[in-house]
Amino acid sequence: MKAFLITAVVAALFVLMMAFGARNDEVVTVNYFLARGEFSLPILLAGTFLAGFTISWLLALGIILRQKLTIRKLRGKAASGETSGNGSDAH
């Protein structure tokens, strides 16, 4: 349910950004470090939003995968510790 709500908020922001861009349809000049380009404002906003969303999603995916790997390793250690029967509790 939480993922659905986050997705709905992101989609609503995207639609709001596109509505803003549609009402302000003009060509803007973007100066890069070495070049210059002219883009339509809605296309520029959509591209920037998509790039930020993609980078954030990839970073979050990396964190989630690292956590899942850590959990898998810890579960393996816990399972091997339970089955080893080292007798440290029995005196």
Residue numbers of the domain that contains 61: 2-79
Q: Is residue 89 part of a domain?
A: no
Q: Is residue 35 part of a domain?
A: yes
Q: How confident is the model at residue 63 (pLDDT cuts 50, 70, 90)?
A: very high
Q: Is residue 48 part of a domain?
A: yes
Q: Looking at residue 33, what DSSP letter applies?
A: S
The DSSP string of 70-91 is HHHHHHHHHHHHHHH---SS--
Q: What is the pLDDT of residue 32?
A: 82
How many domains does the structure of the chain reveal?
1
Q: Is residue 65 part of a domain?
A: yes
Q: Is residue 86 part of a domain?
A: no
Q: Is residue 18 part of a domain?
A: yes
Cβ pair 25, 40 in contact under 8 A: yes
Q: What is the pLDDT of residue 65?
A: 95
CA distance linking residue 34 with residue 11, whole number of Å: 33
Q: Is the model's pTM score more than 0.85?
A: no
